[in-house]
Amino acid sequence: MRHEIVHKAELAPGYKLFVIRSPQIAKKIQPGQFVIVRVHEKGERIPMTISDFDREAGTLTMVVHEVGKTSKMLASLKEGDAILDLLGPLGKPSEIRRYGNVVAICRQGTAGALYSIVRALKQAGNRVTVIMGAKSKDYIIFEERMRRLCDEVIIATDDGSAGMRGYAVAALREYLKHNHVDYILAIGPTKMMKTVGKIAKKHGIKATASLGAIMLDGTGMCGACRVTVAGSTKFACVDGPEFDATEVDFDELQRRQEFFKEEERLAFELYEEGT
C-alpha cells in the first residue's frame, strides 16, 4: 500500500507535521497508539505516535522531531512522496473514561502526541487542562488546537517569552495549589515524567506516563523498551506505552537511555556529512 504524504507543514524549528493517507490504519487506530515507520528498504524502524486521525478521509497526522538520522530523513520527505512502510496500530490504547478534573502535561513536540488523547478525554466528559512547556514561544506547537479543544491551556517557557517563566512541572505545582485534580497524564522527557510521578504520589493523584519515546522494534522482540514498573519487567511497546507514573523506575530508565548516545550521535553526523 502507498502511504502518501498529502500535507506537510513546519510547526517549529526541527518539528514537522505530516498528514499521511493510510486508510487501513486510520480505520482502526485509537488514541495513545503508535505506528512503526521505515523510510526506505535499508532504513531502521522507528516508532511514531499518532497525533490525530480521520477515519473518513483515511489519514493519519503525526509530528516528526528531527533528533536523529532516520527522523531527519523522514522530515525531508515532501508532499506527494510516500513512506515505504507504516505498521500499526500498535500498543495499548489510552484508558479513556470520566475521571473528573484532568491535567495533561507535555513538553514541546510531545504536544502532538497528546492531542488525540486529550480530545478523547474531553469527549468522555472530563474537564481538561493542558500544561505545555517549551524552551521559548518559538517551540510551542498545537496551542491553538488545544485551546479550541480544552477548558484551559497553561503555557510555560524556559525563557519567559510566552506564558509563565519556568518549567511545565512548576506550572503543575502551582495549579495543584488552587485546584483539585483527579487524573494527570504526562508525555515528554523522562526527567519531566519522573517529577510528575513524584508530585502525583505526594498528592495521591492517579497519574500516567507515556513511554513511547523509548521504543525501537515496536513488537516486543528486541527488548529495547524494557522498563521496570512496580518491581516487574514490562515492555513499553506491548504492555504500554502508558504506565502508572508513580510506579515506573525512572532512574533505571534514564541510565538505559544513555547507553547508545554516542552511536546515535555518530550516525547522525555521518548522515549530515553525506557519508
Q: Into which CATH architecture does domain 101-257 fall?
A: 3-Layer(aba) Sandwich (3.40)
Grid cell, residue 83, equals 513512506
pLDDT at 237: 85
pLDDT band at 62 (very low <50, low <70, confident <90, very high): very high
pTM above 0.75, yes or no: yes
Alpha-carbon distance of 190 to 262, in angstroms, equals 19
User: How many percent of the chain have pLDDT more than 70?
Assistant: 90
Grid cell, residue 4, equals 502518501
Angle at 189 (CA atoms; ends 266, 161), nearest 5 degrees: 105
Q: What is the signed CA dihedral for 254, 255, 257, 263, rounded to 10 degrees?
A: 150
Per-residue pLDDT, averaged over 170-180, amounts to 97
pLDDT in tens, 185-211: 999 999 999 999 999 999 999 999 998
Spans of all domains in the chain: 3-90, 101-257
pLDDT at 122: 97
CATH 2.40.30.10 fits 3-90, yes or no: yes
Per-residue pLDDT, averaged over 10-15, amounts to 95
Work out the mean pLDDT of the chain and round it to a whole number: 90
Cβ atoms of residues 63 and 147 within 8 Å: no
pLDDT at 225: 79
Identify which has the larger pLDDT, 25 or 271.
Answer: 25
Q: Which amino acid is at 167?
A: Y
